Amino acid sequence: MLILSSICVSYLVILSSNQTYQYQIFGQSPGQVQVPSGSELTLPNLFASASKSVVQVTIVEPQTGSQQGIGSGFVYDSVGHIVTNNHVVAFSMGSTEYIVTFLNGNAYEATLVGNDPFSDLAVLRILNPKATDVHPLTLSNTLPLVGDTAVAIGNPFGLSGSLTVGVISAVGRLLPTSGGQDSQFMGSAASSFDIPDVIQTDAAINPGNSGGPLLNMKNEVIGINSAIYSNTGSNAGIGFAIPSSTIKKVVQSIITTGEYQHPYLGVTGVDVTPQLAEIFGLIDAKGFLVTDITPGSPASRAGFRTGDVSYDQQGQITNSYGDIITKIDGNEVRKIDDILTYLEREKKVNDTVILTVIRDNQLTDISVVLGSRPTQQEGMATGPFGDQSAPEFDGGFSDCPSYVPQSLCDLFVQ
């Protein structure tokens, strides 16, 4: 199953509220090593340089002072903004307090600046930090390559200052979002949207690592650790990190406005399968078949048509009709992933996109002015899915959890 990698209260009972574990490599203290910017580091030097910027985020119930959860985060800028996961701070948002603790033991109260459940990112700001504690990490300007070394630093199971090493296993994954720790993973309206460009790594990530940085060997943040795939709740060698490109856009907007508005089409459908390609007379099984349109959405206003797919009792497709999106601004659409990735990488609210559509066996271009993605509450009112394929399951994926999209079942369920 896919789970969020942040630790919750069931793990905290094994730790004293005042207990802190600190690890140093070869006797080095955080910040002891100075390295040239952009240079490849050794692991000991990387840890010594980066660990002073990685923090433990503790969620506290204000009336009793009890710890409700724990995660990780890192320093974003010199004024004390801390980047972490939305699901870390959303444990009981509005009725909790946040304590940010550095590896040297210095702890600060923090306030929530804002959050974005659709990218699983949130920003805290620590109050009156010492200048010696505020060391921002640098966000990478490039996506990593499969096979690159990946280093995760965080607080697995509350053990602060832990470093794990692996490689980039894959890039460009789609990861379902979560509404927070107090809801089942991918169980809320936010789960109808996916985070594109997600990084997959085999660096050990466990509960409590959520919100910590995934670094390259130049001490640059390439992602923020957010989820693991596991049947046990512990590391199984498949972890996921939100990429630095997403962090840059979302975090800066949260700091400035308190939120981030994602571009939105308002379509629901399925990726074109070989069966659908045969029904529509297509040479290749590529494209995205629109089966439903959210009322009042940009796609609805642009004139998209509602389609349908019919199945027999064996789950075989017997008939289908509707608009098939084949390109977005001239870029090929093989499946919904391509649409989501393009929108998140290249577009913003109120931008215009040109969607090339097969309609009645003819190619036509439809111009769509992008809107703002609905909030979770609005999403509940308009339906369970938007801008993605509804999960499809057949006999080959009978063990796949009902809340996991087909794309992830393809990856993980044998």
Q: Is residue 404 domain-resident?
A: no
The domain boundary, picked from 242, 257, 272, lies at 257
Task: Choose the catalytic residue: 116, 120, 133, 197.
Answer: 120
Q: Minimal CA–CA distance to 336: which of 291, 395, 282, 398? A: 291
Residues 364 and 383 in one domain: yes
My answer on whether 169 and 238 are in the same domain is: yes
CATH of the domain at 180: 2.40.10.120
- Over its length of 414 residues, how does the chain's per-residue pLDDT go in tens digits? 555 554 333 333 333 333 333 333 333 444 444 445 567 899 999 999 999 999 999 988 877 777 788 899 999 999 999 999 999 987 666 667 899 999 999 999 999 999 999 999 999 999 999 999 999 999 999 889 999 999 999 988 888 888 999 999 999 888 876 543 322 222 223 335 778 889 999 998 888 888 999 999 999 999 999 987 766 666 677 899 999 999 999 999 999 999 999 999 999 999 999 999 999 999 999 999 999 999 999 999 999 998 998 888 888 888 899 999 999 999 999 999 899 999 998 999 999 999 999 999 999 999 999 999 887 555 544 433 345 433 332 333 334 433 334 444 433 332
Same-domain check for residues 143 and 242? yes
| Residues of the domain holding 379 | 263-390
- In a domain, residue 395? The reply is no
On whether residue 279 sits in a domain, the answer given is yes
Give every CB contact of residue 179 below 8 A, 6+ residues apart in sequence. 90, 117, 187, 188, 189, 190, 191, 376
Beta-sheet pairing, 81-84 with 121-126: antiparallel
Residue of 119, 188, 210, 244 marked active site: 210
Indicate whether 406 belongs to any domain: no
Domain count, the chain: 2
8 and 78 in a single domain? The answer is: yes
Residue 235 and residue 125 share a domain: yes
Q: Are residues 329 and 377 in the same domain?
A: yes
Q: Which of 51, 53, 72, 87 is catalytic?
A: 87
39 lies in the same domain as 176: yes
- Is 271 in the active site? no
Last residue of a domain, one of 235, 257, 279: 257
Asked about 202 being catalytic, the answer comes back as no
pTM of this structure: 0.76
400 in a structural domain: no
Residues 214 and 326 in one domain: no
Domain edge (last residue) among 257, 288, 323:
257
Predicted confidence (pLDDT) per residue in 283-312, tens digit: 999 999 999 999 999 999 999 998 998 888
- 245 and 296 in a common domain: no
Both 102 and 119 in one domain: the answer is yes
pLDDT digits (tens, 9 = 90+) for 397-412: 334 433 334 444 433 3
Active site residue 210: yes
405 in a structural domain: no
For residue 159, being part of any structural domain is answered with yes
As a whole number of angstroms, the distance between CA 85 and CA 71 comes to 8
Within 329-394, strands assigned E span 331-332, 352-359, 362-369, 371-372, 388-389
